[in-house]
Homo-oligomer: A and B are copies of this chain.
Amino acid sequence: MKLICSKSELLKSVNIVMKAVPSKTTMPILQCILIDASANIIKFTSNDMELGIETIVEGSIEEKGIVALDAKIFSEIVRKLPDNDVTIVTDEKQNTTITCEKAKFNIPGQSGEDFSYLPFIEKNEGVQISQFTLKELIRQTIFSIAVNENNKLMTGELFQIANNTLRVVSLDGHRISIRKIPLKNECSDKKVVVPGKTLNEISKILSGETEDMVDIYFAENHILFEFDNTKVVSRLIEGEYFKIDQMLSSDYETKVTLNKKEFLDSIDRATLLVKEGDKKPIIITINDEGMELQIDSQIGSMKEDIDINKMGKDIMIGFNPKFLIDALKVIDDEEIHIYLMNPKAPCFIRDDAGQYVYLILPVNFNSVGR
């Protein structure tokens, strides 16, 4: 095999496929990038058996062939090469020479015959959204998937299509994040759970541009994201996702409207008094005077008043400050509405247009002596 590609094109492609190279594996071949120039295009593939990525690399093929190279070493070499044309040559023993200007690297390769190619996904009935939108949907929900694997379904996100609307949901038992966007093209109803890891990795590759599109296709056990010169195929998480609609009550006793940044900054300040692992709640008191935030810990105490617009009953309620911060950080609105029922019931942060809902369960707090 003999290829010539620019360093910048190589670097871009390597960075993309690196996202599906497992850091640990029992199958050493998976720690390679497969360079396939056996046909008329150059294709890089990586596959950790849950997530697989394939990208087409611009360049010229002087001699067809195929080789699997250690992903980490190959990517480091590419990264450090001068900014010029790079020649990759493989001999019959898969020994690979990478030359750029006067620098010449020699590394061993593998035949790639035991490499796992991506599963074939039939492209019928996909949905198309912009890369910006997909990246935003992920960012605005990914923080509330569960980190431990006790309940596999909680480690993924629900991608649900109904009535030409895509709804993305994540939950971890303490909170639920929901984002909705209308779809431009017609699509039949779908309901799949995509691994959080897939979404994290894909979001690093997406351009984030509103003009760049991504096509999403659904298969029995897989989801395919296709954009630019890249295909990302992921396994889905099996099982029936949680019935969240019955948790989304629209009743409330107290409605509060306030400036998001002020609220976020204040909670952020308060949390410096909470050491990691310590479960100090932030106590929110809402009455006709306004909203008071208070936190007490072994380090000290903090109090802050925030201007609000209040409707309904007075309430005193405690929250894990991290959960509030996570949700507030991904809301772009300047002004937000919080809906509360009682100190034992979840609060809802949601917009009037129905684009987002963040449900957060309150925590108990000791109100003795207050």
> A residues engaging B (CB < 8 A)?
70, 73, 76-77, 80-82, 102-108, 265-266, 268-269, 272-273, 299-306
Contacts and interface: CB of A to CB of B under 8 A. Distances in A.
Nearest to A307: B102
B268 A80 contact: yes
B73 A299 contact: yes
Contacts of A303: 103-104, 106
Given A73-B299, A73-B300, A76-B272, A305 B81 contact: no
Q: How many identical chains are in the complex?
A: 2
Contacts of A305: 102
Given A102-B305, A266-B103, A80 B300 contact: no
Q: Which secondary structure dominates chain A's binding surface?
A: mixed
A82 B304 CA distance: 12
The 10 lowest CB-CB distance pairs between A and B, nearest first, are: A107-B300, A76-B272, A80-B269, A103-B304, A106-B301, A102-B305, A104-B303, A105-B302, A106-B300, A102-B304
Contacts of A269: 77, 80-81, 103, 105
A319 to B, nearest CB: 18
Contacts of A76: 272
Contacts of A106: 300-303
Contacts of A102: 304-306
Nearest to A268: B80
Contacts of A73: 272-273, 299-300
A28 to B, nearest CB: 14
Nearest to A302: B105
A38 to B, nearest CB: 24
Nearest to A73: B299
Contacts of A77: 269, 272
A300 B81 contact: no
B266 A108 contact: no
Contacts of A301: 105-106
Contacts of A302: 103-106
A21 to B, nearest CB: 16
B103 A300 contact: no
Contacts of A265: 80, 82
A67 to B, nearest CB: 14
5 contacts: A70-B299, A73-B272, A80-B268, A82-B265, A106-B301
Nearest to A292: B102
Given A103-B266, A103-B302, 9 more contacts: A73-B299, A76-B272, A80-B269, A81-B269, A103-B269, A103-B303, A104-B304, A105-B302, A106-B301
Nearest to A101: B304
